[in-house]
């Protein structure tokens, strides 16, 4: 397949750590976060304008909430956040988290097909390479115990179209692996199985999305690529973006045929990162995605 055009969502906008794009079908708008700002952002297809709301602490991942607003993984727990007037973000704590070590926060997260919110944790200082991160589930019963442990930099969450398979990655340079896990109806997960070892490919496995055909798209951080893998783990194609650190992708648009890609601005940008590091990109990858299931507090697991 030929390289599709990759455009800038908003040419003048750059984030420090852009992450967690999620498309609202009802609003025809894209939400995402800048973790270090810290801020929630929204781009509306109606006027192509960006609106920002400042968060009280680092906001790492968001998903739609059935009652309006979004559910968010932050530093101290999982919150229901509601954008308000004058850049105000109303935040209601749904579930606090007791991290095993100081200096931790949530990282990558999204809802599964049943409306449960999944998010993982990490030590903010990646140079410490501490494998103390875990993967948690939030549902009507609150925050679960960690269902996966031993993660350094949790990432790559995605769910197969039928909801029965979870994808998970660890993007730390010492790991760079993607796994699949069976996801059961009750919200429990089965054993991790290696899906792709990214040490054999360009880039580290960062945030991800799954298309309607079951293809798994994952940002290859440090390589300026987004890879698509078939459900059997075969590299199908790669899209090049004009920034070295794409961070997460998500499908959206009126026909769910656009791929939105956030990125991170390096501390000392060079080359294309001078102009585009931290930008949000949009591409037409040739496949459609699925609408995100919003979080519902009536959804429960064990």
Catalytic machinery residues: 206
Pure H helices in 160-248: none
Sheet architecture: strand order including 258-263: 6-8, 281-283, 258-263, 246-252
Which residues on adjacent β-strands are paired with residue 165? 182
Pure H helices in the chain: 273-276
Sheet architecture: strand order including 165-170: 154-159, 165-170, 177-182, 193-197
Contact 90/82 with Cβ under 8 angstroms? yes
Distance between CA atoms of residues 91 and 242, nearest Å: 34
Helix count and strand count (H, E) for the chain: 1, 25
Distance between CA atoms of residues 25 and 8, nearest Å: 21
């Amino acid at each position: 397949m030929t390289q599709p055009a990759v455009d800038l969502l908003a040419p003048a906008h750059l984030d420090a750590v852009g992450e967690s794009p999620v498309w609202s079908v009802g609003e025809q708008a894209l939400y995402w976060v800048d973790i270090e700002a810290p801020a929630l952002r929204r781009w509306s297809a109606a006027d192509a304008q960006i609106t920002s709301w400042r968060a009280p602490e680092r906001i790492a991942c968001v998903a739609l909430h059935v009652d309006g607003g979004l559910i968010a993984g932050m530093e101290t727990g999982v919150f229901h956040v509601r954008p308000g007037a004058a850049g105000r973000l109303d935040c209601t704590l749904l579930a606090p988290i007791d991290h095993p070590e100081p200096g931790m926060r949530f990282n990558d997260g999204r809802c599964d097909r049943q409306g449960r919110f999944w998010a993982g944790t990490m030590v903010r200082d990646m140079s410490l390479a501490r494998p103390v991160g875990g993967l948690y589930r939030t549902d009507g019963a609150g925050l679960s115990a960690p269902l996966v442990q031993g993660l350094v930099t949790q990432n790559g969450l995605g769910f197969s179209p039928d909801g029965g398979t979870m994808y998970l990655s660890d993007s730390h340079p010492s790991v760079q692996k993607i796994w699949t896990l069976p996801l059961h109806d009750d919200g429990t997960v089965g054993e991790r199985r290696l899906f792709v070892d990214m040490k054999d490919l360009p880039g580290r496995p960062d945030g991800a999305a799954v298309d309607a055909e079951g293809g798994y798209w994952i940002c290859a951080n440090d390589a300026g690529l987004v890879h698509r893998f078939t459900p059997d783990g075969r590299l199908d194609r790669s899209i090049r973006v004009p920034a070295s650190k794409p961070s997460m992708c998500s499908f959206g648009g009126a026909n769910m045929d656009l791929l939105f890609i956030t990125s991170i601005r390096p501390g000392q940008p060079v080359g294309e990162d001078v102009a585009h590091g931290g930008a949000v990109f949009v591409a037409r990858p040739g496949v459609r995605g699925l609408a995100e299931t919003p979080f519902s507090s009536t959804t429960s697991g064990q």
